[in-house]
Structure 1
């Protein structure tokens, strides 16, 4: 155990400080005890995780936090942490009973998830330990911008079993970031005892071998030991500029939550034993024993605490409930709007550039445009290499290793720290290669889903300004993990824009718009087209393409083909083949899937009547199903036949070229389908 200076003690701590702490502890416990009654009275607080037994460490975390400077990521048991950090009793109750004026989420997020984003007390999800990565990302920004501040991740000991928590701690130690991992160890993950989580009794000791990481143990039930530990942790993180892990030994005096019954897995002896270690009762006894307060003084404070809670309760009950009409607010922030290119179209005069060149030049231009732009990923910046396909080639040489750098092979870390770094300032724009190939993105889905609802969940107070680049699709002979396209799964998740360009100019214009917009964008790049002359186009230096604006690639009156990505070129080739037979197809390149240009789709259906949707992804549950459904619901009377879909069969994409060709759409498959529709 590392030595911790004894700054605070029962004898030396000023009386006014001791009184402040006692007030916080007493009011906090009164609300903690009262919370279950709200559910019993059908008022709310349907999820409450009591903190009793964690009092010492939670008081300390809140006390060392400096609002609007440090960054605090509390977890669902951190009621006293939030109260100690500055939230009022009324704000705690507003959160518990999910009122519209709750500063954390306005009733959109689960009760007992306390936050105040304007103070840097961050809104985090229910996923245990998920926010550890966000704390690391915020600490990266703190270090980059030279702030004398810390980022604090508060969590239970069982969260350390999660792989992404290991990723966060590994990344923090590698980058030497000023982040404090406060681990509140009460011995249980709901009903799962610690022995079923790890072989090490003191879980923080699992990380003793991590370089640049200091580990401190303390008694989380004791106010003074906890205050000393957290004070030293903050001092060390600031001065050494490296992470610290504080393991606080706590007890859980009650059930995990109000839906848990701990008598089913804890003996009566154990339940009584933990009550004997009540931190509040111990602190009160010490104040009397060492004659720092009289019984009458403490009783007066306790009476005042009851009055404060009563007043807060009455005020919170009068607060408005969330408005059901507001459910569509804050799904996505307003996007950057182009004045010069409102329709995403431009003059065609000039030299054509390849799609990969358009992306590379746009990245560099936007890095020059906004000095608060960053990019990282795997294989991103090693000597002359710039990403697995060299899309980011030359960026590190021009903009430096602090803005352009490699990440560990840990997709959750890449995505999660992007979310966290974005929390530092709204001026920051982040681009990540979410994975080397789209197929490898699945480990990051936990962070992707969490980030997708940050804007909605926080009631508009935070949105991750992140563009995720994924090299997508097949036609390269890559097989599993190298040739799949995954937009069919991603488009079912609200809160993220999804674009899928087919030509170099649209790729450049959509990337610029993505990087200048607030909010999160999934930027899917058809890697087979990076260097394909068919995708080359003239690209104005300042070109911008708005989200949700499709582009007609070919005019026609016989068949309307809706497409995007690699399939756009296949559809154009098929249309050319049909034109030789006197059949003219109109080809609409969506460019943007979320939002989607529904007006252009419905106008094309009305104009032509016969419709085919073509995409590379599987037909089963592919994005074409959404397009077909919209047409059937909103333009059925304009149809001259059923909407036909062309895509891949319900099978993975195979490696051998013969298998790939049998699976992916081809010009001939589109041509044959078109002939059937035209003959209907």
Structure 2
């Protein structure tokens, strides 16, 4: 069948009502797209706008095949036409563009041109190009596990595929055989960077032809019918075969990348004329008239109707309320579980002590039995009788099965990103991930970690990533680089994630239980040197719970407050006992347990009682979390102090491998004792 006959066939076999609906959606999307820059010129808003013009056909198709009752759509920042086609109204587009409180994506909390409607499964995605491919894979995993209908659809530009996490996402979808459709809208440029500078293949989808279990479809993204056929086939095949599909759509970018870009600086007049000639809407209009499916008058009437719709939407947008400055602290943290049996996180249990490793393992199993919608995965943590490098997850796969307890690729971004996505499917889902085998290896996941911290705030509470990130943290094992660092000093700087760091087995159990029952993300740092240490072993009551933001007084005292957590808690206890036996001082040891939120009340009460403070932690002193504690005390309890707040921590160097170097770098009882004696004699 030659192209002309195919074109006639497609236009004549689609009913007129549908054709006119498509034309109206295209005109509405283009009208809003063209209007967007005017808001910026008038200082009203829409300060970020990536035009969709030239991508209209493939975006129309994405929105039309998307079924909000069963599918999940992850549009990217250029997907204005996709969003209109998927059902967003002109008002909703403008609310987002000018950042109004009525914006259904998140009430003006995210950049303009990032369209979403979470209640319809049109997901709010970030500005990090292509990162939502991982979220789509995660939710597709849940679709498959729960035997649900539908697919996940991830839309993006071809240059975003250069990102490493996109390869991780597509490789993972291939390996797990998941119903996800990846749409590459190829306009030939990544901002001003031509495609030839991004990759060797002319079509980026060819980079993935070697992957098993994946189907690749190529289409003309400028043609409505070719795009519609490709997307219809992709969604149908992905759902029926429970496997991923890539749709590579050739498009043109008619305008600059965004309103901060000037494409005339890198595109000549001939190219600009060429892309305008291939305007998808103009072509579609010509086809409708040429094959007598619509008259000029009918299409002109639609054009006039669209103008009225946009004018009305503009008025609604201008009248809509702006976000309140008082709301900035709303939705930073998702609701935490409030312990019922042990509201203050203390107990009088006298049973046989258990080590931290036992506490973690038994708590994980108990919570998995309690909530069947709980999953755990990570690197090297579910293979026959091995339960991770430290055996924390030992026996879990045998009891709960391969679908709830499984290994992930050695790809930290993949682990974090798919956890974010998977927890979107169902509010009951709780995902526990071993973010890396050692905390030091977590850095490749930072893009997805940061993304996940602001999901709840960015969506104005519409989506909560219910994820617990477990990391074996700290030194004193002779591990050296990438095996002995503790990283809380960096990760506590991000609002939206709770950070806990237990020192004893009971707190490890209680904090893990609270983390897994809470909404939102918790970073759970485990002092691996204490996993099997007898000094960290304690009796643990059944179903023990520890609230976030509640420190524990491990030793009462009146002369000096030692504020600590993790490995150094036990060192502080040893020093306090020694100074007491020598009759020098009675030191109070405050085990923070929870870094974010921080128990400021307990800290202040202890400072008022002792008037002298020593902050001790394993991390570096410079830039470490203790700096925040010290600053808070200096600001709020200065009048109660009889001496400067002092800190003990690691040297400002990496942790060396040789035990002599490690000892010189990390804090120990001798360093803590010397500091305590100094502050006591000030």
Which category of TM-score, normalised to the shorter sequence, fits these structures?
Answer: over 0.9
Residue 577 of structure 1: CA displacement?
1.4
Contact 2:8 2:291 in 1 (8 A): no
Separation in 2 of the partners of 1:227 and 1:545?
53
SS at match of 2:648: strand
Equivalent of residue 646 in structure 1, options 638, 645, 648 = 648
The Cα shift of 1:463 comes to 1.2
Asked whether the 8 Å contact 1:6–1:228 carries over to 2, the reply is no
Q: Give 1:68 shift.
A: 3.3
Q: In 1, Cα distance between the equivalents of 2:154 and 2:340?
A: 42
Q: Please state whether the residue corresponding to 1:103 is helix, strand or coil.
A: coil
Contact 2:349 2:541 in 1 (8 A): no
- SS class of match (1:414): helix
Q: Which runs of 4+ in 1 moved over 6 A?
A: 5-8
Whole-Å separation in 1 of the counterparts to 2:286 and 2:473: 64
Q: Is the 8 A contact 1:8 1:224 kept in 2?
A: no
Partner of 1:401: 402
Q: Closer, same or farther in 2 for the Cα pair 1:242/1:289, shift >3 Å? A: same
Tell me the CA shift for residue 8 of structure 1.
8.1
Unaligned runs of 5+ in 2: 1-5
Quick check: 1:68–1:118 contact (8 Å CA) kept in 2?
Answer: no
Matched with 1:337 is 338
How far residue 347 of structure 1 moved from its aligned partner, in angstroms, is 1.1
Distance, in Å, in 2 between the alignment partners of 1:609 and 1:336 is 34
3-state SS in 2 of match to 1:401: coil
Where does residue 616 of structure 2 map in the other structure? 614
SS in 1 for 2:350: coil
Aligned residues: 676
Encode CA deviations 1:517-554: one digit per residue, 9 max, x unaligned: 00000000000000000000011111000000000001
Structure 2: distance between partners of 1:352 and 1:416: 37
The one-character-per-residue Cα deviations of 1:347-366 (angstroms, maximum 9, x if unpaired) are 13111000000000000000
Distance (whole Å) between structure 2 residues aligned to residue 601 and residue 336 of structure 1: 23
Which segment drifts farther, 389-398 or 344-353?
344-353
Kept in 2, the 8 Å contact 1:8–1:228? The answer is no
1:248 counterpart residue number: 249
Which residue number in structure 2 is paired with residue 474 of structure 1?
475
Q: Report what 1:447 is aligned to.
A: 448
2:661 corresponds in structure 1 to 659
Q: Indicate the residue corresponding to 1:572 in structure 2.
A: 573
Which residue in 1 is equivalent to 2:299? 298
CA drift of 1:6 comes to: 10
Contact conserved, 1:562 with 1:612, CA < 8 A, in 2? yes
1:574-613 to 2 correspondence within 5 Å? 574-582=575-583, 583-613=585-615
Question: 2-side partners of 1:20 and 1:665: how far apart?
Answer: 70
Cross-structure match for 1:104: 105
Per-residue CA distance 1:621-661 (angstroms, 9 max, x = gap) = 10000000000000000001000000001000000100000
Alpha-carbon distance in structure 2 between the residues aligned to 1:477 and 1:126: 40
CA contact (8 A) 2:471 2:526 kept: yes
Q: Hey, what's the Cα distance between the residues in 1 that align with 2:32 and 2:674?
A: 69
Within-5 A mapping of 1:454-533:
454-533=455-534
**Match status 1:670 vs 2:672:** yes
Structure 1's 105 and 7: CA in aligned 2 closer, same or farther, altered over 3 A?
farther
Q: Distance in 1 between matches of 2:303 and 2:668?
A: 76
**Which position in structure 1 is the counterpart of 2:18?**
17
Write out per-residue CA displacement over residues 324-363 of structure 1, whole angstroms, 9 at most, x where no aligned residue.
0000000001210012111001113111000000000000
What's the CA shift string for 1:3-56, capped at 9, x where partnerless? xx9998111001110011000000110110000000001110000000000011
Q: 2:208 corresponds to which residue? A: 207
SS of residue in 2 equivalent to 1:350:
coil
Distance between the aligned counterparts of 1:68 and 1:230, measured in 2? Answer: 17
> Quick one: distance in 1 between partners of 2:435 and 2:556?
36
The superposition leaves residues 279-301 of structure 1 with CA deviations (integer Å, 9 ceiling, x where unpaired) of: 00000000000010011111111
